Amino acid sequence: MQIILVSNDFRDKRTLHVGWKQIALAAIVFLLLLAATATLANYLSLKYAATSNHPLVRSILLADQHAEAKQRREQLQANIDNLAIKLGEVQAHMVRLDGLAEKLAKVAGLKPQELPSAPSSSGRGGPEVRGSPLSLSEFESALNSLVAKVDIAGDQMMVLEALLVEGSAQRKFLPTLPPVENVSFTSNYGYRIDPFTGHQSFHEGIDFAAETGAPIVASASGKVISAELHPAYGKVIDIDHGNGLVTRYAHASELLVKEGDLVVRGQKIARVGSTGRSTGPHLHFEVRLNGAPQNPARFLAAN
């Protein structure tokens, strides 16, 4: 392409030769300028909207924020509603589990009210009344309550399993006899504040308050599988009662049996002391099933 430039008096003229490369370059420069102009205009408009106190601008911005917040709340509530439905299903299963526990208790020779901390399994029903959806705090409270009931049901089943395995004729092999005369607990089974570190820790047994030298008896008949001095438990005795059930008696001042001895329910096996990791004279009593710690109070309650 040729472009001819002529002066006003037509005396001078100049010819410019423009190729396709120059045209393409000019088009690219034009597009870049156009894009830069649009970007600048958008930036200035957003900056104005952010700093402006104009009611219309503020209402538009607040409307977007409210819509987004409303959508998040609706999604959260939908998730809570779905979880609440699942929670209701689990609660229904717990009711049926309570009924099963009562039947098993009768088979094991126990009355339903003799089950450790047995919750009532009364029926529920009535016409549907539409209420407000659960809040997050209400859902957490309901979930924590259900977890507590599950723990209780688990303890019940452990006791019932042991009772059914051994049979009512072999109750003497179950650790249902208090190992000391004083049944006052100074520390329960479960999480507690450690008396030495001040930190939360899991206590795998229960502690009985007793005087130094007080007799410790076997909670059930069995075989002594360990009678030794342990750094933490002090002078400690482990008795195997069969079917994976073992009891432990710790912090004794004196051991009266040795490994391999056969003992009967109620036999004196040691004396109370404060050996090992102990703050004072007491008996630390554990019950383990296949190596896993159980709550001894659940067994003692079935006595």
Asked, for residue 127, whether it belongs to a domain, the answer is: no
pLDDT the model gives residue 299: 87
Q: Is 182 helix (H, G, I), strand (E, B) or coil?
A: coil
Same domain assignment for residues 184 and 260: yes
Which structural domain range is residue 68 located in?
60-121+132-166
Are the C-beta atoms of 46 and 31 separated by less than 8 Å? no
How far apart CA 230 and CA 262 sit, in angstroms, is 22
Same domain assignment for residues 67 and 93: yes
Reply yes or no on whether the pLDDT at 110 is more than 90.
no
Asked, for residue 80, whether it belongs to a domain, the answer is: yes
Asked, for residue 187, whether it belongs to a domain, the answer is: yes
Reply yes or no on whether the pLDDT at 247 is more than 70.
yes
Rounded to the nearest 5 degrees, what angle is found at the Cα of 207, between the Cα atoms of 201 and 211? 140
pLDDT the model gives residue 56: 62
Q: Which residue has the higher pLDDT, 11 or 87?
A: 87
- How many CA atoms lie less than 13 Å away from 290 in the CB half-sphere? 4
Same domain assignment for residues 226 and 288: yes
Residue pLDDT, tens place only, 115-161: 555 444 444 444 544 556 667 677 777 777 777 777 777 776 777 66
Question: What is the CATH classification number for the domain harbouring 229?
Answer: 2.70.70.10
As for how many domains the chain has, the answer is 3
Asked, for residue 185, whether it belongs to a domain, the answer is: yes
Asked, for residue 126, whether it belongs to a domain, the answer is: no
Mean pLDDT to the nearest integer, 193-216: 85
pLDDT the model gives residue 162: 67
Indicate whether this model's pTM tops 0.85: no
Asked, for residue 141, whether it belongs to a domain, the answer is: yes
Q: Is 26 helix (H, G, I), strand (E, B) or coil?
A: helix
Same domain assignment for residues 159 and 187: no
pLDDT the model gives residue 1: 58
Asked, for residue 189, whether it belongs to a domain, the answer is: yes
Are the C-beta atoms of 227 and 221 separated by less than 8 Å? no
